[in-house]
Structure 1
Amino acid sequence: MKTLIIIFLLPCILLLLVHAQVNDDSFDPYATLFSPYTKQEWRSYQEKKINEGRKTELTFEVSYVNGTKVRGAKLYIKQLTSDFHWGCGMTHRILNNTAYKKWFASRFTAADFHNELKWYWTEATQGQENYADPDAMIKFADEHGIIVRGHTILWDDVKYNQKWVRKLSPEQLLEAANRRVDSVVNRYKGRLIGWDVMNENLHHNFFEKRLGKNASSLFFNRVHKIDPNAVLFMNEFNTTEHVNDEYAPPVKYLRRMKKIQSFPGNSEVKMGIGLESHYGAEPIDFHYVRSSLDSLSQTGLPIWLTELDVKMDPNLKNWSGLQVIYLEEILRESFSHEAVKAMIIWTGASIDGCDVMCMADENLVNTPIGDLIDGLMEEWRTGEIEAMADFNGSCQVSVFNGGYEVKVVDPVSNASSRVSLKVDKVSIPDKMVHVQIMG
């Protein structure tokens, strides 16, 4: 009887403990097996994790050359770069639209191409390669400091392979796939941040069925030999989106990655975790998203959300409003996990065709989705701030990690000094910045 009473009371006790924790900095809603938290409590937790993982608190100490502290020194702090990449899907339609180029380059530091680097685009007909579109798109990206992921070299889904590819014998397929790898990787080696080597190789197995169980590992090896400094990604859907997908949960993702890494010659491959992040018309299971990211982050490898969108049923009441709500929830949850290094929104303006969601219409006027993303971009950067040193020439500021230019001005003589800083967990170990002013 006592056992039954304990079993009955245990959830109630845990709920009370969790609610008691929300007023404490140690609150961790993921640590519970239940969901007693409110959205406000979860948002507070996300903010706590952002402050811990994305920001650094610096102490500036300003002095003259002789060591005297500069009382009331003025600091003008400007963020130049961010350690986090906002990205967007890009198509060839951008090439002939100057306004869209400007819109894109003013917002994003990373890109995936929707189709233009895929095999079916560059070699639709066997033996006839055409790289005109990706050449021009990569040139545009280079000119504007936008890093590009090579999406994708090969694709394990049979329906996304050309008819001529599907008709090849295993021997012919291996020869053709090797030529494809050599062609595209040699053409762009050293210019791309990384490559999706074998897209969606957990849900699909076109190459494994024809070339053997080590097909993905072999192609990772071949790409690495050509472009050894590139990050080579697995890229998969439903690893964080759906708890009931049996093909690509984190445990299977990590198992396949370990298999690729342990293949002879692959120990030095720089791996990355690509999560497509196609969410649907249901509330997001934050527990599952966070636990999935936690599991994947144990590898220490960079995690990129590579094709982020939220698809809604247009017949659903208030579907457009819910789309904004769900998108904001997944953006905040993902950004609050410091292992996530970049998020790529899958479609920018309607110029690119918006089958799921768009940030801007044909006139590049923001949609509610665009307003949300622009707002979060602004929220998650330091921008420009002004501060003043105290009586001891000391000043504390909390800034998002990235590159900075700091101007320090003597309030009496107006003499100044400038310093450039890289702010992250390792670049300034003691979080102290000493600046001297001539005077």
Structure 2
Amino acid sequence: MIVDPAHQKYQDFFYDNFEWAVTENALKWRMMEWTRVLRGHNMFWDFDSHSPSWLSTLSRDQLLDAMHVRVNGTIAHTKGKLVHWDVNNENLHGDYFERRLHNPNITSSMFKWIHQLEPGVKLFLNDYNIVNSNTYTTAYKMQAKILKASNVPVYGIGVQSHFKSSNIDYDAVKYRLDKVAEAGLPIWITEMSILDTDNQKKADALEKLLTLYFSHPAVEGVLFWGFWDGKVFDRRIALANGPDVVVNKPPNAAGIRYQTLFKQTWRTNITRPLHHGVHISGYHGHYSLDVKHNGKVIESQVFTLGRHGKLVTVNLHGSGESTKCNFR
């Protein structure tokens, strides 16, 4: 839907409101290979019910061969197109591959297989009941620390984040997020959703939770697990409603609250006179810098501001001079 011309209204809303996308199901092994006649969000899923049923007929060696075929075939299709891979989904809750292969360290091997084929892709753990419950918080942190210490090519930690607005303990979420961050790896909120039939309550909860995530130094990004009620696992989490994907009407209260944060509150728009350099503080992200003289743009640059700041040198055409802009 993000490329098909028949869904222009969906695309207008999508590209205007988001910077990242994740395929919910299209790359999962079971979805790609319901039967073994096909070749090719996660490379593996450590649950019996989420793995192709035909795997159960294979011997241990045959299963291992099939896993290599899965990795090689999928990377052949996706190489250069993906920035992240969730490697073995929810492996704290399931042990399908560990059990079938009699190998408690198979997840480490999965990371190494993918990294060998495409070293530039960032590889992630991904699991649930990490911040909305205390059941797996410490175990998840320890898994990440052990993989990192063992030189497994794990880039980051995916934290699923499905909530009901009526039962969010924000102090507890912050505490658990801090615990996961002790592993020393970047965190991505991979599946954020807030469920409520009252869109105003959903909006309030969304603002508080997004602010917590956005302000946490270990969190690099947040991905919603759906936004439109026409294409979402539960209509009660939607930010946008109706067949026109809010092109002909505003989003619901939660969607408007998100847009206010994303497009206004967390944007940096500053105009400064340019003398012998300027110093500006801003949010991390992508920037466009325009230099104007008598109202006319005489120089433009684009740059990305990260956690270490950025020094931008601007050449002033025709004057033989330059000025420096420090961003932090």
Tell me the TM-score normalised to structure 2 length: 0.84
Alpha-carbon separation, structure 2, partners of 1:259 and 1:383: 38
Q: Could you say what the CA RMSD is over the residues aligned between the two structures, in angstroms?
A: 2.8
Residue 190 (structure 2) pairs with residue 302 (structure 1): no
Report the AA paired with residue 379 of structure 1: Q
Alpha-carbon separation, structure 1, partners of 2:3 and 2:287: 34
Report if the CA contact (8 A) 1:208-1:215 is conserved.
yes
Matched residue, 1:193: 83
Alpha-carbon separation, structure 2, partners of 1:112 and 1:236: 15
SS in 2 for 1:109: coil
Alpha-carbon separation, structure 1, partners of 2:5 and 2:161: 27
Report if the CA contact (8 A) 2:3-2:11 is conserved.
no
Residue 221 (structure 2) pairs with residue 342 (structure 1): yes
338, 350, 360: which one pairs with 2:240?
360
Report the AA paired with residue 105 of structure 1: Y
Residue 176 (structure 2) pairs with residue 286 (structure 1): no
Deviation at 1:227, TM superposition (A): 1.2
Alpha-carbon separation, structure 2, partners of 1:110 and 1:298: 26
Structural mapping, 1:236-275, within 5 Å? 236-243=127-134, 245=135, 248-249=136-137, 251-263=138-150, 267=151, 269-275=153-159
Alpha-carbon separation, structure 2, partners of 1:341 and 1:396: 24
Deviation at 1:321, TM superposition (A): 3.0
Report if the CA contact (8 A) 2:286-2:305 is conserved.
yes
Deviation at 1:375, TM superposition (A): 1.3
Unaligned runs of 5+ in 2: 320-328
Matched residue, 2:51: 161
TM-aligned CA distance change 1:371 to 1:402, over 3 Å: same
Matched residue, 1:51: none
Report the AA paired with residue 253 of structure 2: P
Alpha-carbon separation, structure 2, partners of 1:424 and 1:110: 17
Structural mapping, 1:146-185, within 5 Å? 151-185=41-75
Structural mapping, 1:6-405, within 5 Å? 96-129=6-39, 151-211=41-101, 212-243=103-134, 245=135, 248-249=136-137, 251-263=138-150, 267=151, 269-312=153-196, 319-355=198-234, 356-361=236-241, 362-365=243-246, 366-382=251-267, 384-388=269-273, 397-405=280-288
Alpha-carbon separation, structure 2, partners of 1:257 and 1:406: 39
TM-aligned CA distance change 1:153 to 1:432, over 3 Å: closer
TM-aligned CA distance change 1:176 to 1:425, over 3 Å: closer
Report if the CA contact (8 A) 2:2-2:14 is conserved.
no
Alpha-carbon separation, structure 2, partners of 1:394 and 1:220: 46
Report the AA paired with residue 382 of structure 1: R
286, 306, 309: which one pairs with 1:424?
306
Report the AA paired with residue 200 of structure 2: G
Deviation at 1:185, TM superposition (A): 1.9
Report if the CA contact (8 A) 2:160-2:189 is conserved.
yes
Deviation at 1:178, TM superposition (A): 1.9
Report if the CA contact (8 A) 1:229-1:270 is conserved.
no
Deviation at 1:299, TM superposition (A): 3.8
Alpha-carbon separation, structure 2, partners of 1:360 and 1:224: 37
Alpha-carbon separation, structure 2, partners of 1:95 and 1:104: 13
TM-aligned CA distance change 1:168 to 1:311, over 3 Å: farther
Report if the CA contact (8 A) 1:199-1:234 is conserved.
yes
What are the Cα deviations for residues 334-367 of structure 1, in whole angstroms up to 9, with x where unaligned? 1111221111111122231351411222211112
Deviation at 1:92, TM superposition (A): 8.4
Report the AA paired with residue 122 of structure 2: V
TM-aligned CA distance change 1:409 to 1:106, over 3 Å: closer
SS in 2 for 1:113: coil
What are the Cα deviations for residues 279-319 of structure 1, in whole angstroms up to 9, with x where unaligned? 1343322222222222333344221111100134x5xxxx4
Larger C-alpha radius of gyration, 1 or 2? 1
SS in 2 for 1:388: coil
Identity of aligned residues (%): 27
Alpha-carbon separation, structure 2, partners of 1:154 and 1:415: 51
Report the AA paired with residue 386 of structure 1: T
TM-aligned CA distance change 1:241 to 1:415, over 3 Å: closer
Return the structure number with greater relative CO, CA threshold 8 A, min gap 6.
1
Deviation at 1:398, TM superposition (A): 3.3
Count of matched residue positions in the alignment of Structure 1 and Structure 2: 312
Unaligned runs of 5+ in 1: 1-90, 132-150
What are the Cα deviations for residues 15-55 of structure 1, in whole angstroms up to 9, with x where unaligned? xxxxxxxxxxxxxxxxxxxxxxxxxxxxxxxxxxxxxxxxx
TM-aligned CA distance change 1:169 to 1:345, over 3 Å: same
SS in 2 for 1:98: helix
What are the Cα deviations for residues 223-250 of structure 1, in whole angstroms up to 9, with x where unaligned? 111111111100001111112x2xx21x
TM-aligned CA distance change 1:166 to 1:342, over 3 Å: same
